[in-house]
Amino acid sequence: MKKWFVGLMLVILVFCLTITKSLYVEWGELFIIIGALSLVSVIFLKNENKNLKLLGTSAIIGFIFFWIFGVADLIIDHYLYFLPNGMEDGTPLTLGLKLEEYSDDLFIGSIISTSIVLVVTFVLTKILSFASAKTV
């Protein structure tokens, strides 16, 4: 059940990134990625009681997966919306040049994503563990 839900969540994330037309990862897409990664992190770590493992796994999910989905968004947007059409004023950017140009933004976004996913995962797992302990 857990893997099925996570897979569905990631498919929805890629769909949301596909329908948002932008040149690079913008704030709206950043929030979409952070929300999906936070849900995935909470679902995976809901029953974890070790705070260090919880925070380490959340940090990895927030940092690495933001890079993966940020680069995926750049590739999707490049091939769906921003291929050269011959009407450019100058040379259009290739995919490699776009990735190089926005690598700093992706790094900053991954730091923001990591921080928010850490906080959200920690808070939600504490709330869920408190709520489950209270019902027992």
Is residue 89 included in any domain, yes or no?
yes
User: What is the pTM (predicted TM-score) of this model?
Assistant: 0.74
| Contact predicate 125/42, CB 8 Å | yes
Q: What is the pLDDT of residue 30?
A: 85
Is residue 108 included in any domain, yes or no?
yes
Is residue 20 included in any domain, yes or no?
no
Q: Domain containing 59: what range? A: 32-128
d(CA 48, CA 129): 9
Is residue 42 included in any domain, yes or no?
yes
pLDDT, one tens digit per residue, over 35-88 is 888 888 877 776 666 666 777 777 888 888 888 888 888 888 888 776 666 565
Number of domains in the chain: 1
Is residue 135 included in any domain, yes or no?
no
Is residue 26 included in any domain, yes or no?
no
Is residue 110 included in any domain, yes or no?
yes
